[in-house]
Every structure is written in C-alpha cells, then in structure tokens.
Structure 1
Amino acid sequence: MEAQSLFSLITLAAVRPLVWLLPLVLVVLALKRLVPRMRGSAGEARIGRVLEQLFSVVRHDLILPDGRGGWTQIDHLALTPAGLLVVESKAYRGLIFGRKGEATWTQVLGRRRYAFQNPLRQNFAHVQALKALGLGVPVLERVVFTNAARFPKGLPEGVSRLATLAEDLEPYREGVVSDALHQAWQQLDGAIRTDRAARRAHRTGLERRFGADDRLSPVLLLLAAAGVLVGGLWLTAGQLGPEVSALRRQPPLMPAPAAFASRPASALSPTSVSPPQLSSRPQPRGSTVSVAATESRISLQWTERDGGSRESEDCKLAIAAVLMANTPEHRHRRTQACGKSAMP
C-alpha cells in the first residue's frame, strides 16, 4: 500500500473519534433550545400536583371557546367551595418586575432582560371565556410562578409563588361545594375540548394574532444535521474496517530472505541438493535461460573445505556436472579437474 494511503488511514482513524463529538454538540444545542419549553412543562406539572392536593376536582390543559369565535387554553381549572378557580402557571426564572395594570412585565437574567405579556391579563381572558358560557357561578383567578422566580418589589395582587400557593389558596377551601357549582362544573365539562382539532384551531388563532412560533424550527434543523452526521460517520466506520484489514494483509516492503539463508552452512553442501533432470540436448550459442527458472531448479552454496582452501572453478563445474548427470565421462572430468584428494 502506498505511503499516502497509509497516512490517510492513520489520520482518519485518529480524527474520527473527535468528529463523533460534532453530532453530540448539535444535540446539546438543540436540547438547550428546548430547555425553556421543558422547564415550562415541568413547572406546570408541579403546580398541578399541588392543586390536586388542595382540591378534589381539578382539570389540566383545557381548550375552551373564548366567546369571540376562537379558542383559549387554560392550564388548570379547579372546583372549589368559593367558585371555579382558573390558574395560569409560569416557570420563569430570575428577577420579575411588573405591576397589575402594565401590559408587559420584565424578566432579568444576569445582564439580559426579556419582556413578556402580563400573565394577569392573559388569565383574565380565560376568566372571560368561562363567564361567556353563562354558568352563573363565581369565577376566580390566580397566576402561579415556580420558586425559581423572585419578585424584588413584591408580588402583585393575584400572583403567588409555588412555595406559598397552599397558604394563598386557603380561603378558597373553606366550606363545601354547592349544588350550583356542581351543575356549573357539569355544564363546563361538556364545553371542554381536548381533541387535536381544537388544539390545532387554538394554535392557528395564536399564530394569526402573534405570528408563527418558530422556536422549534432551529431545534429540528439541529437534530436533522446531527442525524445526517451520525449516518455518514457510521458508513465511514464500515468502510474503514476493511481497508485497515487489507493494510494488515499487505506483504512487507522488503522481500523475505531465501529459505536457504536460514539454514546452517553444513546443510548447504552440494550433496544435499537433489540433482535436477536436465535435457541432454545442448543449448545453442547465444541462447539465454531464465534466471528465475534456473534458481528454481538448483541453488548451490559452497562451503570451505580443507582448512579454507577453495576448489578451482573447473573443479566446481566438474562436480556440478557429476551431480547433474553421474556419467563415466563426467566422473573422469571431475578426477582430472579436482584430483582424487579433492573429490567429495
């Protein structure tokens, strides 16, 4: 394998764990945008549980006609001895500044300031929707913030924090629920909508009045991008495995030494080589024989004998000829070239 390909594989294997962090970062950014919505749902659930401990009949997340041809959404509705209690829940954090008659309130988080609709006015619209049904019973209202909110200038009238909600609603628990209130609750129960069509119509009305809520669009885009990246990295990981396996199976850059090189010198004497079968037909002058074919048929290595003396070239050729064809003629030639004392 080329050095460039090897470097690419090593780089990919080293960088890939870091690239996997990118989808995680995108998911974290998406969740960060969802935190306010999740916090609001959790705070609304906590307030609802406290109301259920205080009153025996409580409904949550209701859609009702607003009396003007549209729909309104109520967080909590409780049946109390004092009347029908409409509760608007808020899970805002930080410092809250606002008065009952102001159109907007202010949330302060560190150095950042955010304006939001006066929740008392928002809940007043819910109260008016219940009164439009002609129930003929008192309708009470309360805005409840979770404990993460603080009011440096005091709580406006009609506003409670979750920590003091039970104490603030204690006057509404005195006495028993009248028959008129029970009848009004049954009439109200028939007007409550919880189906998807009503919720869709309510959402359409909000978009018509305040504009489309595009807070989920960036979240969906971030999650989609994270999914695409995970899929691409998964496919890349599947392709990298075979390439690494192929790299491991590649032969070494330098050829392995011949098998004879690992043998001791005593095992490489000419007598240990089996004589190949050679054709007796003489080779024409000028003809060449393949080096690979010659090496594959015979491979001779000579060892020093008689205290380090070397046979002459004629002696070596004569001995090789005897090894290849042990004929009287070749033996005679060997005797002349090597002498009797030098013969193997």
Structure 2
Amino acid sequence: MDAQSLFSLITLAAVRPLVGLLPLVLVVLALKRLVPRMRGSAGEARIGRVLEQLFSVVRHDLILPDGRGGWTQIDHLALTPAGLLVVESKAYRGLIFGRKGEATWTQVLGRRRYTFQNPLRQNFAHVQALKALGLGVPVLERVVFTNTARFPKGLPEGVSRLATLAEDLEPYREGVVSDALHQAWQQLDGAIRTDRAARRAHRAGLERRFGADDRLSPGLLLLAAAGVLVGGLWLTAGQLGPEVSALRRQPPLMPAPAASASRPASALSPTSVSPPPLSSRPQPRGSTVSVAVAEPRISLQWTERDGGARESEDCKLAIAAVLMANTPENRHRRVRVCGTSAMP
C-alpha cells in the first residue's frame, strides 16, 4: 500500500462517521415537515373512533359535489336520530383564539403566531354541499379539536374538544333514526365519490384557492435523499471492509530498535591483541629480569543497524488499523511494529 492509498484510507475512516450523521439530519428535517400532516391524520383517526362508539353508522373522509361545480371533502359524517352530523376535525396544538364570525383564527405556539381559516366557516361549506343534494333532512355541524389545543377565552359555539365530545353530542343520541333519515343516507351514499380522479380534482381546487401544500413533497424528497445516502454508505463500507480485514490479518513483526546515544555491546568488534616484545639487551648477572606487560589495546568499530525508527510499510498499516478500529489488539500491534517513538 503506497502513501497515497494510505492517506485515502485514513481520510475515509475519519470522514465516514461525519457523513454517517448526514442521513439522520435529513430525516429530522423531513419529519419537521411531515409531522404536522401525520399529527393531523392521527387526530382525525381518534375523533373518528369516538364517533363510532357514539353512533352506529359513521363514514370518514368523504368526497362529495359541493353544489358549485367542484368538490368538497368531509372528515366525518354520522347518521344520528337528530339528523346528519357533519364533523370537521382539527389536530392543532397550543392556544387557539377565534370567534364564530371571524374569517380567520389564531394559533399561538410559544412566541410564534399562525392564522388559519375559521373551521366553522369551513364546515358550513360542507353543510351547504349536503343541503344542495336535496336530501330533505336536518344537517348538523360540529368542529372538534384534539386535546392538544386550548381555548383561553372559551370554546366558541359549535366547537368541542375531544375530551368532552361524547358529552357534547349526547343530545344527538336521543330517540331513533327515522325512515326519512335512512332514505337520505342511502341517497347520500350514492353521491359519495371514492375514485382517485375526484380526489385529485378536489386537491387541485384547494391549490387554486389556497396554494399548494409545500410540506409533503420536500419532506418526501428529504427522506429519499437520506435513503440514498444510507445506501451509498453501505456500499462504501463494503469496499472498505476488505482493506480493514487485510490490515487485521497482518502477522505481528519484531519492532526495530530506536536510535540512542549508547551503542549496544553486540555492535562492538574487538581487534586482535598481541603482547609487547621482550627486550634482547643482555642483563647483568644476578639481576632480576622484569618484564613490563603493557595493557592490551582494544580497537572498537561501530556497526550501524538498518531500520532505526523509520516508519516501515508495516508501521503505516498498523497506524491505519488503529485509526479505523481503535482496539487494544491494534494498539498493541502498533507498539510492536512501530516502537514507542514512532507512534502518532
């Protein structure tokens, strides 16, 4: 493995955890756009379940002609002894301020304020669409907010919270459903549209009047981008895996000794030692001959070892293995291969 490949491997190992966080960021941004829509669907379902407990005949999410050449969507429609009950559900949070005659209401979330269409007026349009069918029976209306909404100034007339919905609708349960109401329900059932073309036409009409909902498409795009990134990281991990496995399969090598000021004794090469020659001068009789023995002279030669503390190819591989997987095994191998002075 050359230096460029090693650098690329180390860079990938360092950047990969940061890139791995990017899909999570995209998912959070997507949920920020999609959660309001999901919350609305969940709140609508809870209100629908309460209505089904109160009345025996209930329909949900209906598309009907609006009597003006277009379409309207009704959240819930119940057959009650008092008449046909049209229910508009709202899964809003925070503080709600509004009165029956106002065109828009206000939602307060902390320091933020949002305005939305008066739901009583919105539901009145649904009631008018039913009356345009000529059913000849009473049509009742009710707007229901989930329990996450609060009305500091009191609930307007015709508005309920989910917690008190059963109590508020108790008067509509008294008596029995008349034959006229049953016939009107059958007539209404024939006017309900369930095909996709009607839903697309209704959605197009809303976009012309109020503009397109810019939350769904960007949220789905962000989720798709997160999926693509996860797939790319998975493929990258598959390519990086053999490199990491190869590093871990490297056999342990003996470390090269570090250079120091003291030379090892094994590097000394002694030369031959010869005693000094004896003097040939004649000595007087009776004298003692003394021989001066000189100290042997030892010449030393230094032998330089190859390798020293240089980072060999195996040292680079050991360092890369620690950067990718900082395990005790890899750290021990790095010390053995590189020595303590060569560790990064």
TM over 0.5: yes
Measured in 2, the distance between the counterparts of 1:325 and 1:155 equals 61
1:240 shift after superposition: 1.3
Measured in 2, the distance between the counterparts of 1:174 and 1:23 equals 55
Counterpart for residue 32 of structure 2: 32
Q: 1:298 to 1:61 in 2, by over 3 A?
A: farther
SS at match of 1:140: strand
SS at match of 1:287: coil
Q: 1:264 to 1:179 in 2, by over 3 A?
A: same
Please list the CA deviations of residues 241-270 of structure 1 after superposition, one character each: whole Å capped at 9, or x if unmatched: 233344556799999999999999999999
Q: 1:285 to 1:118 in 2, by over 3 A?
A: farther
Q: 1:305 to 1:250 in 2, by over 3 A?
A: closer
Measured in 2, the distance between the counterparts of 1:192 and 1:239 equals 56
SS at match of 1:261: coil
Unpaired segments ≥5 residues, structure 1: none
Q: 1:268 to 1:169 in 2, by over 3 A?
A: same
Measured in 1, the distance between the counterparts of 2:132 and 2:179 equals 20
Q: 1:5 to 1:295 in 2, by over 3 A?
A: farther
Is this contact kept in 1: 2:135–2:184, CA < 8 A? Answer: yes
Measured in 1, the distance between the counterparts of 2:325 and 2:47 equals 109
Q: 1:314 to 1:274 in 2, by over 3 A?
A: farther
Is this contact kept in 2: 1:145–1:160, CA < 8 A? Answer: yes
RMSD: 19.5
Say which is worse superposed, 252-261 or 110-119, in terms of deviation.
Answer: 252-261
Say which is worse superposed, 23-32 or 89-98, in terms of deviation.
Answer: 23-32
SS at match of 2:102: coil
Unpaired segments ≥5 residues, structure 2: none
Measured in 1, the distance between the counterparts of 2:31 and 2:278 equals 83
Please list the CA deviations of residues 303-331 of structure 1 after superposition, one character each: whole Å capped at 9, or x if unmatched: 99999999999999999999999999999
Q: 1:149 to 1:319 in 2, by over 3 A?
A: closer
Is this contact kept in 2: 1:105–1:115, CA < 8 A? Answer: yes
Q: 1:139 to 1:242 in 2, by over 3 A?
A: same
Please list the CA deviations of residues 95-154 of structure 1 after superposition, one character each: whole Å capped at 9, or x if unmatched: 000000000000000000000000000000000000000000000000000010000000
Is this contact kept in 1: 2:309–2:341, CA < 8 A? Answer: no
Measured in 2, the distance between the counterparts of 1:328 and 1:175 equals 79
SS at match of 1:270: coil
Say which is worse superposed, 236-245 or 105-114, in terms of deviation.
Answer: 236-245
Please list the CA deviations of residues 161-217 of structure 1 after superposition, one character each: whole Å capped at 9, or x if unmatched: 011111111111111111111111111111111121111111111112222222212
Say which is worse superposed, 143-152 or 231-240, in terms of deviation.
Answer: 231-240
Say which is worse superposed, 18-27 or 126-135, in terms of deviation.
Answer: 18-27
Say which is worse superposed, 263-272 or 50-59, in terms of deviation.
Answer: 263-272
Please list the CA deviations of residues 51-73 of structure 1 after superposition, one character each: whole Å capped at 9, or x if unmatched: 11111111000000000011000
Measured in 2, the distance between the counterparts of 1:29 and 1:338 equals 46
Counterpart for residue 155 of structure 2: 155
1:224 shift after superposition: 2.4
Is this contact kept in 2: 1:106–1:116, CA < 8 A? Answer: yes
Measured in 2, the distance between the counterparts of 1:325 and 1:59 equals 59
Bigger Cα Rg: 1
Identity %: 95
Q: 1:156 to 1:318 in 2, by over 3 A?
A: closer
Q: 1:252 to 1:293 in 2, by over 3 A?
A: farther
Is this contact kept in 1: 2:23–2:230, CA < 8 A? Answer: yes
Q: 1:336 to 1:281 in 2, by over 3 A?
A: farther
Measured in 2, the distance between the counterparts of 1:208 and 1:327 equals 61
1:16 shift after superposition: 1.8
Q: 1:255 to 1:308 in 2, by over 3 A?
A: closer
Q: 1:310 to 1:156 in 2, by over 3 A?
A: closer
SS at match of 1:92: coil
1:6 shift after superposition: 2.5
Q: 1:309 to 1:255 in 2, by over 3 A?
A: closer
